[in-house]
Amino acid sequence: MHLSGSDLIGFWDRLCAAISVRKVTVMDLSKKFGLDYRLLHAITNGHSWYGNWGYEFGTGCYGLTKEAYKKAVDTLSNLPLSSFSFQGRGPRNRVHTVISLYQSLAETELLTIKDLFSFLLKLVNRKPSQHEFTSPINILVSWTRNEVEEVQQALIKVLLASSACNKAKWATRRTLKGAVSMRVRSSELVDYSLKHLPGKLAANGMVVCSRCNPTSSAVEFRLGPFTNGFTSNSSYPSKEQVISDLTFLFNTIIHPEKKFSYRPKIMRKTIADSARTLLDCKQFMKNYEADHVITETPTDIKLWCHVELSDHPKEDQPSPPPELIVLPIDATVDDLKNEVTSAFQEVYAMYKRFQAEELLGYGKISNLYTLKFLFGANTSVRILGKCPTKHGLSRFRKERGTEEWKVDCTCGAKDDDGEKMLACDTCGVWQHTRCAGIGSSAPSKFECRRCVSSYMKTKKYPISSSSETCKLKTSCRDEATAVACNINVNFGVR
């Protein structure tokens, strides 16, 4: 039995809902056809693949925000294909040819990058038997049937002339269009007629065949004999070719680490920055709302319980989210205390010795008092309790530990986001190696821009050798901000 990714995440989503999970965070490192799917899916659908199950932007690396993520999605999705199409100046390249191929195959007009990649993904998942053009009779068009037939007969005459010279010769779509362009002024009419030309009969009993040339990415036509079981072949490329073209266009147009020599520099930078933004957003979160919780008995009492500790100072108290406690309709205050104690002991390591003692805001009340007379069926309540510990609660508070370290990167990040970081040898502040312009191998000595600026103000900065010095920049993303210094202090990388 084969389970797809959708099957697995669907099961995971139902499991989380069944056990009343509050929030779930996923790290999107998905790939499809060897491509970064979080980038491709965001362009075609406006959100990550996990967004199909309600996961939204959680935390962006390198100080990115939800607004920056949405802006990058809109920028890439709405890029006009006209910016990459052949404009009649200079030679046609592969990008022009591939885009023109799929524009000619689509039943609807492809205007943006989103339209193009959505159509390519649709073709990948489409069966060969589904590669059938819709009949002109069933399509609402601006031309009459006679007008379409007249253009198609003109195109067939060109194929007849071509086959008279060489019966095996294929004529490209571009050649046929150019041959009749002088007689037919409407380019859209010619495109429409070409799209529905395969299968048409010629006067000599031959029929129009079509194919997609995998080498030139061009749709080609020729006349062939009409026999039993005849097929007009297909103007559509094979699944393998579609994946190859998808990969080519993705890496050539979208991927931020590729070189684009055919676009204006400003557009090239805009596309690269937007793509890098989407690649840097890997963490997505789903919030399972409290109102989605379903209980077996509608008459049960549902209480969201917040806890406070009487034996710890307020500034040292952790602040865990409330726990949902479900009790029968005849439950007492004592039942509530026992359930709260058990729930927080099971969920949090720091509350292993927690004991609920009092309901805040209700004064001294008997443990035998029935809850339904106090709260009703659905509300929140504050519980005061004690949690005796030998070494305090701080060591359990955060997964990252209790180390005192500070993040203050020039990209705006103030906390560890999972990306590689480097600590300044002087001030000890951490920042991203990428933002500091540091490659895969870290330098033996590193001093941040702030410390360098402060040092240069107080005394003349020693000039390092050309092999050790890095130029100082003021911007963060993709610009170097690191300089070499002569302080011999060890460093660490997170």
- 292 burial class (0-12, 13-18, 19+ CB within 10 angstroms)? exposed
Same domain assignment for residues 391 and 440: no
pLDDT reported for residue 77: 93
Same domain assignment for residues 240 and 281: yes
pLDDT reported for residue 420: 85
Amino acid at 173: R
In a domain, 97, yes or no: yes
> What pTM was computed for the model?
0.69
8 A C-beta contact, residue 253 and residue 43? no
Neighbours of 185 (CB within 10 A): 8
pLDDT reported for residue 169: 79
* Paired tokens of 79: 């890029």
Same domain assignment for residues 114 and 34: yes
Which CATH number covers residue 147?
1.10.10
Same domain assignment for residues 341 and 418: no
Helical residues (DSSP H) of 285-378, grouped into ranges = 333-347
- Count: domains in the chain: 4
Same domain assignment for residues 181 and 63: no
* CA 173/CA 191 separation, integer angstroms: 9
- Of 208, 235, 262, the one marking the end of a domain is 235
- Of 345, 375, 396, the one marking the end of a domain is 396
Same domain assignment for residues 113 and 242: yes
Q: Containing domain of residue 212, as a range? A: 132-235
* CA 353/CA 266 separation, integer angstroms: 61
In a domain, 8, yes or no: no
- Of 396, 417, 433, the one marking the end of a domain is 396
Same domain assignment for residues 125 and 272: yes
In a domain, 60, yes or no: yes
8 A C-beta contact, residue 308 and residue 360? yes
- Tell me which residues of the chain have a pLDDT lower than 50: 133-140, 291, 295, 464-494
DSSP string for residues in 79-110: -BGGGTS--SSS---HHHHHHHHHHHH-SS--
* CA 141/CA 296 separation, integer angstroms: 57
* Paired tokens of 302: 């549902």
Which CATH number covers residue 386?
3.10.20.90
Q: Quick one: residue 228, left, alpha or beta (phi over 0 = left, psi -120 to 50 = alpha)?
A: beta
In a domain, 4, yes or no: no
* Paired tokens of 236: 């559509």
Same domain assignment for residues 120 and 250: yes
In a domain, 64, yes or no: yes
Which CATH number covers residue 454?
3.30.40.10
Same domain assignment for residues 246 and 327: no
DSSP summary character for residue 473: -
DSSP summary character for residue 443: P
* Paired tokens of 406: 């500070």
In a domain, 250, yes or no: yes
In a domain, 173, yes or no: yes
Q: Which residues pair with 379 in a beta bridge?
A: 303
Same domain assignment for residues 62 and 33: yes
Same domain assignment for residues 157 and 210: yes
In a domain, 11, yes or no: no
Same domain assignment for residues 163 and 223: yes
